[in-house]
Every structure is written in C-alpha cells, then in structure tokens.
Structure 1
Amino acid sequence: MLTQEFVFSFREAAPYINAFRGKTFVIALSGEAVAGGNLAGLAQDINLLVSLGVRVVVVHGGRPQIAALLARNGLMPRFHDGRRITDAPTLEAVKQAQGMVRYEIEAALSMGMPNSPMHNAHLRVSSGNVLTARPLGVIDGVDYFYSGQVRRIDTEAINQRLDTGELVLISPIGYSPTGEVFNLMMEEVATQTASALRAEKLIFLIESRGVTGAEGQFVSTLNAHQAEDLLARNTQPVDVCAYLACAVRAVREGVPRAHLVSHREDGALLVELFTSGGNGTMVSRDPLVKVRNAGIEDIGNIIALIRPLEEQGVLVKRSREHLEMEVDCYSVLEHDGKVYGCVAMHTFPGSDMAELACLVVSRDKRDAGFGETLLHHVEQKARLRGMHALFVLTTQTAHWFVERGFSPADPSQLPPPRQRLYNTQRRSKVFIKPL
C-alpha cells in the first residue's frame, strides 16, 4: 500500500516537475519564517527545487530581528501607515539585523545533511547589490529618512547567476547612485523582482495557511478579481492582507501565479507546488478553470478520461481514429493548465436540436462543479449556433441530467439522422432540454 501511495504521489508530481524545469520562482522568506524553527526544512525544500532545475530567487525579511536589536539598543521602533521610519540609528540596526538573517539563511542552504534531499548537494548562493533605491521622502508630513523604495532591479546580473545554477539571495536593502543605503520592504522587493524577472511564480511563506472565506473556510484558489473583493471587505488578518495585495499586484503585472503558503507546516511548499490540491492559497490573474475547443493534441487526454467509462459500459466505445475525425466537436476543461474534463456537441443538418455527448469529468474532480461548467458551455455554444434544444442519450446518468432541466423523451423525437444511428440493443434513454 505504501508503495502504491509513493507511485501515485510521484506520478502526480511528475507533470509539475517537467513544467517547472527552467522556470524562475521568487520566494519571499520573512524574518518570522527564519525565526520560526523550520528554517532547516524550508532550506531543504528550496534546495530540492534548485536540484529539479528551478531557477530560485529568495528575498528575505527581518522585521522581528530588527525589533529585537532595536530593543537591545534601547531604541523605540517607529512606523507610519504600516511602514518603518528609518532614521540613522535605526538604519544601523537594520543593516546589522539583515546581515545576520542573510548569513543564517546561507548557512541553512549550505547544509549537506545525511539522509535528506540536501545530502551531497553543493548549492551555490549568490547575493550582491542588485537593487537600486530611492528615498520615500516626506509623506503626509512624515519624514521617512532612510526608508526607501525600489528604483531599479539588475535583472541581467540576477539572470546571469541563475543561468549558472546558483540560488540568488536578495536582502531588502537598496543603494542609491550616490552611495546611500535604504531600508526596503521585503514584500515590495519580492513583488517587483518577480515582475522584473517575468517569474513563473511568486511565493510568500507566511504565518497562516492562507486565505479564509466569509464563513472561515479555507480558500485554495482565487483569481485577481476575487482577491480584490476579499481585500475590499477587509476580513483577513493584517499580514495576509499585505501579502494578498502583493500577490494581486504581481499577477496583474504578468506573473502567472502567486502563492501564500505556511512556513510553519513542514513540506507545505512542496505540497503546494507539486500536487493538484495544493496546501496554501494560489492567486491567478484570470480564472483557473476554462473550457476551450479541443485540438488534436488533446486526443490522449480525452482517451484517458473516457476509457474507464467505456469499460464500465457507461459510454459507447470510440476509437482513436473516430475521435481524431470528430475532434472539432469536442471541448476540454482545463484547471490550471491540466485537462480534467471533456464534452462533445453534435449538430444535424436541417435540425434545431444539438446532441450533448461524452460529458466526462476526472474522478478526483467530480465534486468541483466541472460537470455543470461543461454543460453550461455546450448550452451557450448551442444557442450561438441557433439551436433551440439540447438532447442527450444515456444509460446510467439519467438522474444527473434530470436534475439539470432535461426531460424524458422518445427516440422518435430525435433528428432523423440521429434516429437512424440509435442503438436499439443499448436502449439508451433520451432526454431533451429546451434552450
């Protein structure tokens, strides 16, 4: 049983491994994550990503470390509108704390622990002055002194280091052309770095698991519009709101996916990236589920979906040649780029009735509402073609169609060309839905 679970897990991860090879991930590692006790596990997982061919950039923070150093020196932290006011004494504490955090991360990433993914690994960590910054200045009458914002990111230098297999570690400290040093916000640096590098993913390692809905339920996927609605309602914890706002900005600026993942749960990062269910909250610019016209390259996926039902007698058997000839009649449903369902629509000359056929959803997604999505797609497609009704022939799923507005009918009500193809031995039941 354990062997079967391993094989299933490995097969589930394999498509993601292939898809991520050569892609750039920006991982935001907060100071809380560094101090949270799971840094060694996070370092192993990040190292594993690099070993799988992912180009990894880590942007780290250091808020709790800065706070501790200020307290030790008898200095009071000052904030305005959620941003630290960095005067000269505070800047010294910032530089010292961020330096300590960077060295701690480098040490964790350099460990070659026996019996771990890092055994015999030789990960090279690169860092340097890749951030040019400018001062925030005076806002609302408040002088931020050495608090700054990103002016330019040296993407050429970062990509050169990534091309050689190095992990790039960026501290949220920027430098001006005149030699001044500025304290930057880790979230902003990570977001702008991901956008500038055209990264595949921006990943925030946060305290909680991710976003929760209105009734406290966990939300695993959001598009940018849905995330903006949540932010407008202001129902999330302050830290989640900050990270979610950055995630929305990133996907709006071209990063395909942004993730909020707990740094406290060991292995959560890998589960989020290499399983279909994930572990945190993923934000995309557009809805993750889409239905599109099938192409010849989808035949393999369609066959994989329908074969089990053909073997059970639920569907009529279709050869590959038959599917290839009729592929223009098919549509497939994708969730985050992976095909989980298919459906076909057939029309008949001289008839205003269309046939819905071969509606199949992957077993592990049958509770996700994908069947209704495919049905609505065919209904809309039929209306656009001028059809007045939709019919379906089925032997074992009659109740599903009745619950969705189909009514029993007689085979004699079918279009004449379809009547001639009716299989009297199979004795499929006929259901019709007016459009």
Structure 2
Amino acid sequence: MSTVFNFTFVPWFRSVAPYIHMHRGKTFVVGLSGEAIAAGKLPSIAQDLALIQSMGVKIVLVHGFRPQVNEQLHAKGHEARYSHGIRITDEVALDCAQEAAGQLRYEIEAVFSQGLPNTPMAGSKVRMISGNFITARPVGIVDGVDFKHSGLVRKIDVASITQSLDFGAMVLLSPFGFSPTGEAFNLTMEEVATSVAIELQADKLIFLTEIPGIRIHPDQPASEDNPIDTELPLDTAQALLKQLPPAHQPSDTGFYLQHCVKACKGGVERSHILPFATDGALLLEVYVHDGIGTMIVDEKLEELREASADDVGGILQLIEPFERDGTLVKRDRTEIERDIENYTIIEHDGVIFGCAALYPYPEAKTAEMAAVTVSPQSQGTGDGEKILKRIEQRARAMGLSSIFVLTTRTMHWFIKRGFQNVDPDWLPEARKRKYNWDRRSQVLVKKL
C-alpha cells in the first residue's frame, strides 16, 4: 500500500513544484460568493486558502452575502428587491446587510483560527486583517429606480492593504464601503473584488461561484470530458459578452465573466471562475496544469497569436537549429509558406521565441501538433505551455476531440501535460501513410 502511495505522491508533488515557485510572492484576490458559505463550503475553502498562503501567496479574500441578506430579510417579512442585477438597499435591507456581514466576518475569522491536530489547519498561523479600506459612493437613481443605500466603489486604500499583505496577513473585505461623511453603502462582492484586483494590479482574480465555468457555446450539449472552456483569450471573452443578454443573476453566463473581462482590461493578467461545488477547486486551478474552471487571459501580455506570411523568416530561423540536430523533421520555406495559417507563434519584442502548427484530420476528429519549438533562451518560462493551450483552443474550435504529436526526444514534456503514448497504428490513415518508420517517432495523444 505504502509503495503504491509513494509512486503516486512523489511524481505528483514534483509536478506541483513549478507552480509553487511560480506563485510565490504573487497576489491573489479571491471572491467568495455567499452561496458557497451557505452551502457549507467555508471550512474546506479556508483550509485551501491557508495552504496557498503558506506557500508564499498574498491573499485578499472578499466575501459575498447575497443569500444571507435575503434570509435576514425573509425573517423580517421584508421582500428582497433587485434592479439591473443590483440590490435596492432600503433601511431594512441595510440593517440586514450589516447583520449578515458581521456574522459572516465572525464565521470566517473563526474558521481561519482553527488549528486542530490531524487537520490541514494544524500548525497554520493565519492572521486576518479587515478594516475600512473602501470608500464608496451611491449608485443613485438609474432609469427611474432609486437604489437608496446601494453603492459603488469610489476608492481603495491600496497602501494599507499592501502593508497588511506585506506584514504576512490575509486581508478580509466585506462588500461594504463608507462615504467621507461616514454613510454606509451596500456593495456587491463582484465589484469590490474586481476593483481591488485592478487597484492592487493583482496577479489573479478568482471567483468561487455557483457555476462550473464558461462555455463558449452554452446552447450546445457539453461533452463529458470537456464541459467548459478552461481558458478564454480576453478578445474571445469580450466577443462572447457582446452576444449575451444583460447578466443580472449569478447563474447568468455573463455575470462573473463581465467582471473577469473588466479585471483583465484593467491590468490583472488572469481571472478565474471556479465551481465551489468541486472540493479543492482552488488547489486544482492554481497548482494543476489544466485547472478546473475557466481562466480569462489578456493575451497582449502573452504576445501569442496566429502566424502570418511576415513570420515565415522568423519561424525558419527558430526551427533551423532543431532541424540540424535531428529534433525536428526538416521543413523548407515553401512548405511553411503554404501552411502558415496552421502556425501559432509567441514573440517577445518582435522576435519569435516559440511556434507550433496544427494539421487537422477532421474525419478522425483529431489533429497533429507539429513543429513544436521553443527557443533555448525562453525554455522554462512557460512559453511552450502557452502555445500548447492555444493549439488546444484552436482544435476545440474545429470540433476535434484530440490532438497528437510525433516526437523522438521530448516525450516527457508532453506526457507531463496530459498526453498518452499510443501505438503508431492509432494514427489516422492519411497520417499513417506518411509515418517515417526509420525515425521511429513516439506517438502521443491528448484528449480535449
């Protein structure tokens, strides 16, 4: 039993190590929906956040309280009223919101204070700091609707939050803000988390939500293997938002997506939508290659794009040393010019540092990823993974169910990223006819 455990734990832990190094010292803003707390998920989420913080990540936790406020209103015989997806906060609703926020803050601080032996919290020292970090202004009257004590973020006290994070504390924010005259305003968790992430220029904004993630084509049935899109480029997410109706309910596709898009446009590199129903969703998203939810990425930061005719020279220059040493099969300029639309490249300051081509075999619902190359200067920086992700996106958009590679020297890199070794007979007939039996390339397949 212990031997089996060793064989599974050791490779797993080693595979996680690069992500631990990558995220150390980074800042994550986590938006925790009130629904997650109502569903009893707070203890396990707290354990995961404490663990992530112990690995050097700075965390700002913003909690929601939508169902808790509604419960308080119901107990007082008062109806919950919304417009434009925002609560209309009258005097009674404001009292209920303050009661709910106080109760939730107490629960959250209590659960982070646990340190029972034989639990993930044993030995953890999570210091939580909360305070009046948010200045708010009233929503006012919109389309004839008076939102009363509902507000919007006017200003974030970035210096105080940063000081608290640097002190080693986790910062806890409730969706409340105060005007310079001391008036309290009820805010939304989503707006607070997004505003804080932008002002801090956080590395990640993460929403733990009721929905499993985003699907580009929600009207089409989801496959068992790929119920959501694990990564959306910012431009794709923006295009999707334009097609969707206004999002007023948390279950609406655009509800969290609109905030993720705003964060990315505001300089947050990556924003995530995760299902709180999945145990360990935070750990799976942060420390596992493919993640569990949907990540929106501003690809201007990545400088990742499809190739054009102007890139042929740069691609040739990149792949030539690898062709010379036998890592890649030789391709001439004419072949690359002919197939240039199949190529994805990544560049830095106008220089191409990585590329890959996608050759579809629609009849077999698969595609070959070929000419996968990363410059020695940028190996280990994640450029290869970015190209792989984009190739996977392109293949999914074509309706394909897998991609495959042929390689003689880089099997381990692909296996580590979800590819599996298969017999060359697996290849589509058209590709099998071109297989070079003298080269004896390994065939590796990844299901999408």
TM-score norm. by structure 1 comes to 0.71
The residue aligned with 2:137 is: 134
Distance 2:416 2:49 in 1: 29
CA gap 1:407/1:2 in 2 versus in 1, 3 angstroms: closer
> Residue by residue, what CA displacement relative to the aligned partner does 1:212-234 show, whole Å, maximum 9, x if unpaired?
24223321111111112333333
Q: Secondary structure at the match of 1:364?
A: helix
Q: Where in structure 2 are the equivalents of 1:261-272 lying within 5 Å?
A: 261-272=274-285
Are 2:128 and 1:125 aligned?
Answer: yes
Determine which of 7, 32, 36 is the counterpart of 1:33: 36
Please tell me whether the aligned partners of residues 135 and 155 of structure 2 are also in contact (alpha carbons under 8 angstroms): yes
> Residue by residue, what CA displacement relative to the aligned partner does 1:7-50 show, whole Å, maximum 9, x if unpaired?
12111111111111111000001110111112110000000011
| Superposed displacement of residue 5, structure 1 | 1.7
Distance 1:199 1:427 in 2: 47
The residue aligned with 1:285 is: 298
Please tell me whether the aligned partners of residues 341 and 359 of structure 1 are also in contact (alpha carbons under 8 angstroms): no
Distance 2:148 2:329 in 1: 70
Q: Secondary structure at the match of 1:339?
A: helix
Determine which of 57, 70, 73 is the counterpart of 1:70: 73
Determine which of 183, 197, 219 is the counterpart of 1:180: 183
Determine which of 231, 239, 243 is the counterpart of 1:233: 243
The residue aligned with 2:341 is: none
Counterpart AA for 2:292: N
> Residue by residue, what CA displacement relative to the aligned partner does 1:149-198 show, whole Å, maximum 9, x if unpaired?
00000010001110111000000100000110000011000001000001
Are 2:193 and 1:190 aligned?
Answer: yes
| Superposed displacement of residue 329, structure 1 | 11
The residue aligned with 1:332 is: 374
Please tell me whether the aligned partners of residues 112 and 119 of structure 1 are also in contact (alpha carbons under 8 angstroms): yes
Q: Secondary structure at the match of 2:384?
A: strand
| Superposed displacement of residue 328, structure 1 | 9.0
| Superposed displacement of residue 136, structure 1 | 1.0
| Superposed displacement of residue 80, structure 1 | 1.1
Determine which of 242, 256, 266 is the counterpart of 1:243: 256
The residue aligned with 1:416 is: none
Q: Secondary structure at the match of 1:27?
A: strand
Q: Where in structure 2 are the equivalents of 1:160-171 lying within 5 Å?
A: 160-171=163-174
Counterpart AA for 1:337: G
Distance 1:290 1:251 in 2: 16
| Superposed displacement of residue 427, structure 1 | 8.8
Distance 2:428 2:82 in 1: 58
Q: Where in structure 2 are the equivalents of 1:291-370 lying within 5 Å?
A: 331-332=373-374, 337-340=382-385, 362-364=413-415
CA gap 1:188/1:220 in 2 versus in 1, 3 angstroms: same
CA gap 1:115/1:223 in 2 versus in 1, 3 angstroms: same
Distance 1:328 1:168 in 2: 39
**Structure 1 residue ranges without an equivalent (≥5):** 317-326, 343-356, 369-395, 409-425, 429-435
Distance 2:206 2:353 in 1: 38
Q: Secondary structure at the match of 1:116?
A: coil
Please tell me whether the aligned partners of residues 289 and 335 of structure 1 are also in contact (alpha carbons under 8 angstroms): no
| Superposed displacement of residue 75, structure 1 | 1.0
| Superposed displacement of residue 403, structure 1 | 4.7
Please tell me whether the aligned partners of residues 315 and 358 of structure 1 are also in contact (alpha carbons under 8 angstroms): no
Give the percent of matched residue pairs that are identical in Structure 1 and Structure 2.
Answer: 41
**Structure 2 residue ranges without an equivalent (≥5):** 308-313, 331-351, 356-372, 388-406, 441-448
Distance 1:12 1:104 in 2: 35
The residue aligned with 1:7 is: 10
Please tell me whether the aligned partners of residues 89 and 186 of structure 2 are also in contact (alpha carbons under 8 angstroms): yes
CA gap 1:315/1:223 in 2 versus in 1, 3 angstroms: closer
| Superposed displacement of residue 88, structure 1 | 1.4
CA gap 1:329/1:201 in 2 versus in 1, 3 angstroms: closer
Counterpart AA for 2:415: D
Distance 2:242 2:199 in 1: 27
Counterpart AA for 1:164: F
Q: Where in structure 2 are the equivalents of 1:388-403 lying within 5 Å?
A: 403=431
CA gap 1:161/1:8 in 2 versus in 1, 3 angstroms: same
Please tell me whether the aligned partners of residues 289 and 336 of structure 1 are also in contact (alpha carbons under 8 angstroms): no
Q: Where in structure 2 are the equivalents of 1:189-208 lying within 5 Å?
A: 189-208=192-211
The residue aligned with 1:258 is: 271
Q: Secondary structure at the match of 1:56?
A: strand
| Superposed displacement of residue 205, structure 1 | 0.1
| Superposed displacement of residue 359, structure 1 | 9.5
Counterpart AA for 1:339: G
CA gap 1:7/1:88 in 2 versus in 1, 3 angstroms: same
| Superposed displacement of residue 143, structure 1 | 1.0
Q: Where in structure 2 are the equivalents of 1:74-153 lying within 5 Å?
A: 74-153=77-156
Distance 1:365 1:31 in 2: 36
Distance 1:328 1:243 in 2: 34
CA gap 1:328/1:227 in 2 versus in 1, 3 angstroms: closer
| Superposed displacement of residue 336, structure 1 | 8.9
CA RMSD of aligned residues (A): 4.1
